[in-house]
Structure 1
Amino acid sequence: MSDESIRSVLLDQQAQDGARAIAELSGRDHHDLFVVLGSGLAHALDAVIDAPDSQRRSFALSDIPGVEAPVADGHVNTIHSVRVGALNVLIALGRTHLYEGVSPACVTACSRAAAATGVHTALLCNANGCVRQWQLGDVMAIDDHLNFSGYSPFNGPTFVDVTGVWNRELTDILAQHCQRRGIYACMRGPEYQTLAEGRWLMSTGADCVGMSTVMEAITLHALGVRVCGMSVVSDLSFADAPTDPNAVVEAAAAASTTIESGFRAICSYE
């Protein structure tokens, strides 16, 4: 399938309707940068969103056709359109996950609508379970991913080249602000991994694991958007205590300074 054919499949009528809704609700005819903030990260860019010169326009994610209100803890049904320097930036404070029983098309609806508004760069952020001996609150620049979710954004003989999903230049920039750099593994969830699965993930080369981001990244890359990401260590897979979802959100929130620093670096590069 040609690149143009892939675009026509992904930027369907729903995505076009979503882009029009974003334009109407934000008062901006295009956007340059798309940011998704995951579990516990909704306030990571408050300084950007609340800046006097941000010209903020805020509305519900679920106001965008095809986009559902997030249901996971630490996610908020809000998207902001802000001005950062010369850039129009969309900042989503939550996302939808495969484990909610929805399709990949639903998971990627916001990303596809954002791409239809003209964004050329995306910064995807999430919280993870770490399979390495790292520290809670460490932020990892995402070098690459392993898709163990059993899902793809595509059906049929699409055969998108995913070797370059994560933009090297942008990742190099983020790595200067993050404590770690590595591989993000995606599993469907909603259950967290077993100890055996954690050992297996480590053997595959994964550094951390989560339940999001990869569907969005593949989709945006297929649409010609440059993709980069940051993943916050919010759970240690080999800790003695069971994973506490509330602790995951709290650990992610503690990494806000790093997330903001990485975001500003990407904006400066743009």
Structure 2
Amino acid sequence: MLIRAGYNIRLESDVATPMLAALSIHPSRNKDLRTPHRIVTTPEVPIYDYIDQFGNICSRVTIPSGGLTLACDFTIEDDGQPDPAAPDAIQHAIEDLPDDILVYLLASRYCETDRLAETAWSLFGATQPGWVRVQAIVAFVHDHIEFGYHHARSSRTAWEGYQEQIGVCRDFAHLAITLCRCMNIPARYCTGYLGDIGVPAVDAPMDFSAWFDVYLGGEWYTFDARHNAPRIGRILMARGRDATDAALTTTFGPTSLANFEVHTDEVAGDNLR
């Protein structure tokens, strides 16, 4: 299947303000592109890319006084298959985990394992380790948090999401990641595009989405606590320990968001641009 995706985002500032942006698709999806993927700025300003420690493409740019618009539009090929399932995937003993996986067991900015460890073990200690345990955590978070765009707050942590029981997709992901880590299951945060493909359309402005991966049976598998169902057409942009590592934009000075539009739609092959 072919998916057309992109965005138009405007940030305004009274003074020149440096910014980092994780608004490119992840390098693991580059070979799936069927049209060029370019970030276009208005006004035109220099923009430089580098690869961070998690393998994400990060763009460095300075917002000029007055503001900057970043836009992108591309078409990508997807296999059209739902998120893979492996019900027999085992949970590894910590001593058997590869060295580079251990960081995804640790507490991070939005994932306070120390505050949720007792809760996690009381809820999931009796569940079967591995896939079954992760699915139990996903189902719990899905039912525990009420989704609503009006609940968005960029500072909300997993502990606060657990207490407040409201949030957006990143809050579902942070709480599920934290509960997994408390149960010694490596988990990492992911962000990207997820359109209403293969599901009823939602009558709301499109947004980027957040989900998470867990390390089971020697591989990373995708889970989504907000939807609690396999989905079609995920386009990964960035991943890391939590939203700090995969923030769409990080500004080093006062800015305001003046426009935010995202599109992700399945298209026919003859609509390639």
Q: Which has the higher strand share?
A: 2
**TM-score normalised by L of structure 1:** 0.27
Largest Rg, 1 or 2: 2
Structure having greater relative contact order (Cα 8 Å, sep ≥ 6):
2
